[in-house]
Structure 1
Amino acid sequence: MSIYLVLTLLISLSALFAYINQKFIKLPFVIGLFFLSTILSIAIISSHFLFGFDVSAVEIFFENARIDKIIIDILLGFLLFAGALHTDWEDIKGQIRPIANYAILGVLLSTILIAGATYYISGFLGIEINFIYCLLFGALISPTDPIAVLGILKKAGVPKKTESIIVGESLFNDGIGVVVFIALLDTLKTGEFSFSHFGVLFLQEAIGGIIWGVILGYILYLFLKSIDHYETEILLTLAFVMSGYYFANYFHISGALSMVVMGLIVGNFRTSVAMSDITQEYVHKFWELVDVILNAVLFIIIAFVLVVIDFEESYIYLGLISVAVVLFIRTLVVFLPLKILPKRIGIGKNDAKIIAWGGLRGGLSLALVLSLPESPSKEVLLIATYFVVLFSILIQGLTIDKVAKALSKKK
């Protein structure tokens, strides 16, 4: 199947499901697309069992399509840059302490706790998973995904401070989560875990990514400042995202963090000097449109992961338990710093509840689990990840507005 045909199918399905959702169902955009895609996936699987429909062609297609590569190597850079571009740095800067706490320490603590819980629960269920795979699961499931929730939070009248923390955390913990995952994956491939080796890899990815993002952002600022032609300036942002993300990955530094930092610089650093009002409007609208289209494609792709999963009863039990484990540890990670260092975190209990429930998991988690080496452990973790993402998007995503409104009224 040609790349053009694949893109045609993805865009056509996205457009069809978006239309059905807006016309009849009226769910939030990405939640509606994910819901309809999941229904289609279930229908394909059901037709196999009920009517003998051969789904092997669908399975082969998705296995050969390398969904993980599409998301990690292509979509992630665009999505993180677009998200950072539209983020107000002043709002983020005002909440930098809780954001740094949740995005760095929170991800690391969550990774360890989820790994430990998964290791012992899987053993209790008679499922053998090496502890390094449990750590990888902790790393890939800990980062939160703001895509499905930010629009809802604004409509729900969530306090600006709480919204800024969720936005900032999700932008940076995606990058941190990827860095931790890559360092652990390298450890898996070498077959030997060393804290010093892990630490060096982590610092190389994280610090290198941030420095590269600053360099890219400043050079792009100089280019944008030197001309006033919005078509050219849009092309420049596109070129810097594509080439900058590619070279970051090539030199083994965090492309995710690079795109976040570059997006924040382009969207906030002396923008009135770098771009005219017209250029700013076109640049933001262009990247907003890119964001919407790629998110539509992303949620269509991740829903179809369901087709390639081989379900076993014990794996399903682990998947269901994983939902509860991830929710519990997310709540613990949010409330523990609030209990120990309340002045440093500076948020109330109701804000913390919104942050905990608003920590959705999405396409990045599935892309990372799909990138694991083929093994029985990968099949188990794929099911656990899918269950968490499914619950996160369809249950948390559809109730966060009610939770936020209810807690906001208690203030």
Structure 2
Amino acid sequence: MLSAFAVLLGITALLAFLNERYLRFPTTVGVTLAGALASIVIIALGALGLPGVREWAAELLRTLDFTQFVLNGILSVLLFAGSLSLDARQLLRQRASILTLAFFSTLISTFLIGLAAYGIFALVGLEVPLMWALLFGALISPTDPVAVLDLLKRARVPTKIETLIAGESLFNDGVGVVIFLVLAGVAGLEGHSHGPVTVQSVLGLFAQEALGGLLFGAALGLLGTRMLRSIESHAVEVLITLALVVGGYVAAADLGLSGPLAMVVAGLVISAVKHEVFTAETREHVEGFWETTDQVLNILLFTFIGLDVLLTDTSAAQLLASALLIGVALGARWISVALPFVFLRRREGYSSYTVRLLTWGGLRGGIAISLALGLPESPWRGHVVAVTYAVVLFSIAVQGLTIMPLVHRASAATNALEQAGR
């Protein structure tokens, strides 16, 4: 495990250096593309008769296990770091918009994509059961907070837009995982069964995971702030927050609660009072630690996404389904955002560009791939994994590289609305 991680770390550092030195793409986009290109080169070398190269690389990635690496490894750190960096009080002011998008948009998108995927799989000759198509809808619907936050930091968008996009992305990530787990239980997948399936049991499981995760995260955040108020050593404060994140995430999983939602709320609770619980010096150390950790793990995650192309064998039917489902994912994202915005736009004063920005800026990433790879072996698993990779790579490469003009238009329109309001 340590040797495999050392190789991944070395490759990541090299790809990040090449991107920063020559390509100048956003880091998440650059390292993903470079990793995917490296995977294609390795596959080509194997096809040209260089023995063992692809097998060695594939075994390295299997040793690290992408699902464990993300869901039970770095996800807790990334979500906490992302929420800690937000202005929690501004997020509270926009809570209606953020929670509406996080819950209702994710649900709408899940069923739109799932039903469309069921039809498309059948159309191309890949018979996938409806529940597996809905699982695909659940895992691909949440936008990836890691990719979104990286783009927002570079774009310098107005605080209102940044808070909306980042807050929705952080919360819909947790909601998406909860929906996925509920559907996996309904489908009776190995390790996800929760007894007889009834409306009450499904709603109860959703409430336990989502509401329980929110409340547990709030309790963790309050415990952390109480401890942090009483000390001034930045090393101990970093240690407390780190233990809170790792220990809290494991405890949430053991209690059957949503770890991702718990980490987001815990980070926001501490963020809301960080000017009070930290001195200026210790706050600089603590925030510096989490920001650096977030950036390093970001780069590792997206290198891993690019390299994991090695593990994905695709057929012509899967490629056709992928091309169609990329369009479906974008269409479902637009519908799921536009419907709530019929009410939110009038109430909150967002510009007409906000829906377009939320749609095209809704990048998918490591969460989708880790959930897909975590599916049990079945005749349909390969189809879901292949189309998941296609949607994720398209969103990172194409949407990630073309989002900036739309960001600037949305920023200008939002600033104009705010000035008119004054």
Amino acid at match of 1:206: A
State which of 241, 250, 270 in structure 1 corresponds to 2:245.
241
Deviations 1:321-379 (A, max 9, x none): 11100001101111122235643454221121111111110101000101111112111
Contact 1:213–1:261, Cα closer than 8 Å, also in 2: yes
TM-score, normalised to structure 2, is: 0.92
For the residue of structure 1 that corresponds to 2:380, the secondary structure is helix
Aligned ranges for residues 1-400 of structure 1 at < 5 Å?
3-54=1-52, 55-188=54-187, 189=189, 190=193, 193-269=197-273, 271-339=274-342, 342-344=345-347, 346-400=349-403
Decide whether aligned partners of structure 1 residues 407 and 256 sit closer, same or farther in structure 2, where only a CA change above 3 A counts: closer
Contact 1:153–1:400, Cα closer than 8 Å, also in 2: no
Contact 2:148–2:169, Cα closer than 8 Å, also in 1: no
Shift of 1:195: 2.7
Deviations 1:155-199 (A, max 9, x none): 545333222110110010011011111111122224965332221
Amino acid at match of 1:108: L
How far apart are the structure 1 equivalents of 2:337 and 2:327?
A: 16
How far apart are the structure 1 equivalents of 2:341 and 2:221?
A: 34
Decide whether aligned partners of structure 1 residues 346 and 199 sit closer, same or farther in structure 2, where only a CA change above 3 A counts: farther
Shift of 1:304: 1.8
Unaligned segments of structure 2, at least 5 residues: 417-422
The farther-off stretch of 344-353 and 89-98 is 344-353
Decide whether aligned partners of structure 1 residues 88 and 230 sit closer, same or farther in structure 2, where only a CA change above 3 A counts: same
Amino acid at match of 1:144: T
- The two structures, once aligned, show a CA RMSD in angstroms of 1.7
TM-score, normalised to structure 1, is: 0.95
Unaligned segments of structure 1, at least 5 residues: none
How far apart are the structure 2 equivalents of 1:24 and 1:306?
A: 23
Amino acid at match of 1:51: G
Contact 1:97–1:344, Cα closer than 8 Å, also in 2: no
The farther-off stretch of 356-365 and 87-96 is 87-96
Contact 1:156–1:402, Cα closer than 8 Å, also in 2: no
Match of 2:420 in 1: none
Shift of 1:53: 3.4
How far apart are the structure 1 equivalents of 2:291 and 2:153?
A: 17
Contact 1:98–1:344, Cα closer than 8 Å, also in 2: no
How far apart are the structure 2 equivalents of 1:233 and 1:300?
A: 30
Decide whether aligned partners of structure 1 residues 192 and 322 sit closer, same or farther in structure 2, where only a CA change above 3 A counts: farther
Shift of 1:152: 3.6
Decide whether aligned partners of structure 1 residues 157 and 274 sit closer, same or farther in structure 2, where only a CA change above 3 A counts: closer
How far apart are the structure 2 equivalents of 1:228 and 1:409?
A: 42
Deviations 1:289-321 (A, max 9, x none): 110111111111111221111211101111111
Shift of 1:203: 0.6
